[in-house]
């Protein structure tokens, strides 16, 4: 935490006494207009991330978690479109920003890490060429200094003998190593925000552990805000400060990691956490959520989870509004698992 900023911004941040959020997303709606009908991939999503904070955005396939990330980056292509809402990055609205402005921000102030590092890496260019280009695209720096900066960045993400790796082509590196290089590139220009879309999903357990460890340390050190998109709650449990759980295009629950994992309020979070094997007795049947992930086309009105929810009743035909259960803890549910007295 940078002390200077902290004291400066104290007045404007009343609730939890920290700085102004780096990113504020308000009522974001991103829809895709396909032949089969409008797909409400992101439907009224609001969240914020502060400097140095890691937000875990968890959800299953089709929950809209990746599209949320792409919306922030301005990477939604037709037939998709941001229908309404605001994305404020350091106070600047990205929804109305020009493509040139977004281009300038991307890779500079906002960086991204994909599941497949080859989305970032060019297979025919050496690692150093790509990293130097990434630096020089956004700031004036001579080649030698830029190369030194690239060297430092590789060292920072725990790559052994960075000098050799700089001279390598991406295909000469292992999958874990490539992902590290992609992460190093993301951190190159010391961005204010990094959006990481399932960056460890394709990696092995021991390699994943290394990368989680390094990403966490880097955010703490550089004060970069991070959105870590994943389907695996166990990954964000060990990584994120706060968690937002998405289901069918909406955030159904947000809160501090410990609170969401230990005391989930939304029946979907409860079901998801309860179905994990470690939450069940060895050898017993697992608690399962019945049914399947709903189609986003022609989603019935009301709560999207009602068909699978054990607590659903007639109230659930009305779309639940976001309720602030307690400071920093929001849910979208008519029947949350509140701890009632005597329960």
Partner 1 sequence: MTVEITQQSADADAGLAITQEETAAAIETPFRRFVSEFLESRLALGALFTLGAIILAAIFAPFITPQDPYDLAQVDILDGRLPPGSEAFTEYTMWLGSDGAGRDLYSAILYGLRISLAVGITSGIIAIAIGMSVGLSAAYIGGRFETFVMRIVDLQLSFPAALVALMLVALLGKGIDKIILALVVAQWAYYARTVRGSALVERSKEYVEAAASLGLSHARIMFRHILPNCLAPLIVVGTIQTAHAIALEATLSFLGVGLPQTEPSLGVLIANGFEYMLSGKYWISVFPGIALLITIVSINLVGDQLRDVLNPRLKR
Partner 2 sequence: MSELVSAGPPLIEIQGVSKRFVKRLDIAGKIARRLGAGLEEETVHAVDGVDLSIDEGDVVGLVGESGCGKSTLGRMVAGIMPPSDGAVLYKGRDIASLSGDDKLEATFAVQMIFQDPFSSLNPRMRVEDIVGEAPVVHGLVPRKGMSDYVDEILTKVGLDPALKRRYPHQFSGGQRQRIGIARALAVKPKFLVCDEAIAALDVSIQAQIINLFMDLREEFDLTYLFISHDLSVVEHISERVVIMYLGRVVETAQAEALFAAPNHPYAQALLSEVPRLDQRKRDFQPIKGEIPSPLDPPPGCHFHPRCPQSFGPCSSARPVLKSIGPDRISACHLND
Residue ranges in contact with partner 1 by CB under 8 A: 32, 34, 36, 39, 41, 61-62, 66-67, 70, 75-80, 119, 292, 295-298
CB of 45 to partner 1, least distance (A): 16
What six digits make up the tokens of 311? 């607590």
Question: CA torsion sign, 216 to 218 to 221 to 225?
Answer: negative
| 36 binds partner 2, rule: CB under 8 A | no
> Site for partner 2 (CB under 8 A): which residue of 278, 301, 321, 326?
278
Should residue 177 be labelled a site residue for partner 2 when binding is judged by CB under 8 A? yes
| Cα–Cα dist 138/261, whole Å | 40
147/266 with CB nearer partner 2:
266
Q: Give the count of residues interacting with partner 2 (CB under 8 A).
A: 44
- Minimal distance in Å, beta carbon 32 to partner 1? 5
Task: Considering only CA atoms, give the Rg of the chain.
Answer: 21
Q: Does 172 bind partner 2 (CB under 8 A)?
A: no
Residues in the chain: 343
Detail the DSSP E strand segments found in the chain.
Answer: 23-34, 37-49, 54-58, 80-89, 92-93, 110-113, 193-197, 225-230, 242-247, 250-256, 323-326, 329-331
69 forms part of the interface with partner 2 (CB under 8 A): no
Read off φ and ψ for residue 144, nearest 5 degrees: -65, -45
Q: Between 124 and 292, whose beta carbon lies closer to partner 1?
A: 292
List C-alpha distances in Å: 319 to 90, 246, 292, 299, 305. Answer: 31, 15, 20, 12, 10
Check binding of 61 to partner 2 (CB under 8 A).
yes
CA distance 311 to 71: 33
Q: Distance (Å, rounded) from C-alpha 132 to C-alpha 153?
A: 11
User: Shortest distance, CB of residue 184 to partner 2, whole angstroms?
Assistant: 16
Residue 254 interacts with partner 2 (CB under 8 A): yes or no: no
Q: How far is the CB of 88 from partner 2 (least distance, A)?
A: 28
- Which residue number, 201 or 287, has a Cβ lying nearer to partner 1? 201
Decide: helix, strand or coil at residue 271: helix
Residue 23 is classified by DSSP as E
- Report the partner that residue 285 touches, choosing among partner 2, partner 1, none (CB closer than 5 to 8 A by kind): partner 2
Residue 297 is a binding residue for partner 2 (CB under 8 A) = no
x/- map, 117-156, partner 2, by CB under 8 A: ----------------------------------------
Q: CA 256, 262, 267, 269 torsion: positive or negative?
A: positive
Virtual torsion, Cα 135, 117, 207, 223, nearest 10 deg: 40
Which tokens go with 208? 């994943």
Tell me which of 85, 107, 117, 176 binds partner 2, using CB under 8 A. Answer: 176
Q: Is residue 277 a contact point for partner 2 (CB under 8 A)?
A: yes
Q: How far is CA 129 from CA 26, 94, 120, 287, in A?
A: 38, 30, 13, 51
Q: How far is the CB of 89 from partner 2 (least distance, A)?
A: 26
Among 115, 280, 302, 325, binds partner 2 (CB under 8 A): 280
Residues of this chain that bind partner 2 (CB under 8 A):
60-61, 174, 176-177, 204-210, 212-213, 231-235, 237-239, 257-258, 261, 271-273, 275-280, 282-283, 285-290, 292-293
């Amino acid at each position: 935490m940078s002390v200077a900023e902290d004291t400066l911004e104290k007045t404007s941040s009343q609730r939890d006494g920290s700085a102004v959020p780096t990113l504020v997303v308000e009522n974001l709606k991103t829809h895709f207009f396909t032949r089969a009908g409008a797909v409400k991939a992101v439907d009224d999503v609001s969240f914020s991330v502060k400097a140095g904070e890691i937000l875990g955005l968890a959800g299953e396939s089709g929950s809209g978690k990746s599209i949320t990330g792409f919306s922030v980056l301005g990477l939604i292509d037709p037939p998709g479109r941001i229908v309404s809402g605001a994305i404020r990055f350091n106070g600047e609205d990205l929804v109305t920003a020009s493509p040139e402005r977004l281009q300038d921000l991307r890779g500079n102030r906002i960086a991204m890490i994909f599941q497949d590092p080859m989305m970032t890496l060019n297979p025919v260019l050496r690692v150093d060429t790509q990293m130097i280009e990434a630096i020089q695209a956004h700031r004036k720096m001579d080649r030698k200094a830029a190369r030194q900066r690239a060297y430092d960045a590789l060292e920072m993400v725990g790559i052994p003998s960075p000098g050799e790796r700089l001279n390598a082509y991406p295909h000469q590196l292992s999958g874990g190593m490539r992902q590290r290089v992609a992460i190093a590139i993301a951190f190159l220009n010391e961005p204010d925000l990094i959006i990481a879309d399932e960056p460890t999903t394709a990696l092995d357990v021991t390699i994943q552990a290394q990368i989680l460890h390094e990403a966490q340390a880097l955010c703490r050190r550089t004060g970069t805000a991070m959105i870590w998109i994943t389907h695996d709650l166990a990954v964000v449990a060990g990584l994120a400060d706060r968690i937002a759980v998405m289901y069918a295009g909406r955030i159904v629950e947000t809160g501090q990691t410990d609170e969401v994992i230990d005391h989930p309020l939304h029946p979907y979070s409860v079901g998801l956490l309860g179905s994990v094997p470690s939450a069940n007795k060895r050898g017993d049947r697992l608690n399962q959520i019945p049914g399947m992930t709903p189609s986003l086309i022609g989603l019935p009105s009301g709560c999207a989870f009602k068909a699978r929810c054990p607590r659903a009743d007639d109230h659930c035909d009305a779309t639940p509004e976001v309720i602030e259960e307690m400071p920093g803890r929001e849910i979208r549910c008519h029947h949350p698992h509140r701890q009632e007295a005597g329960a």
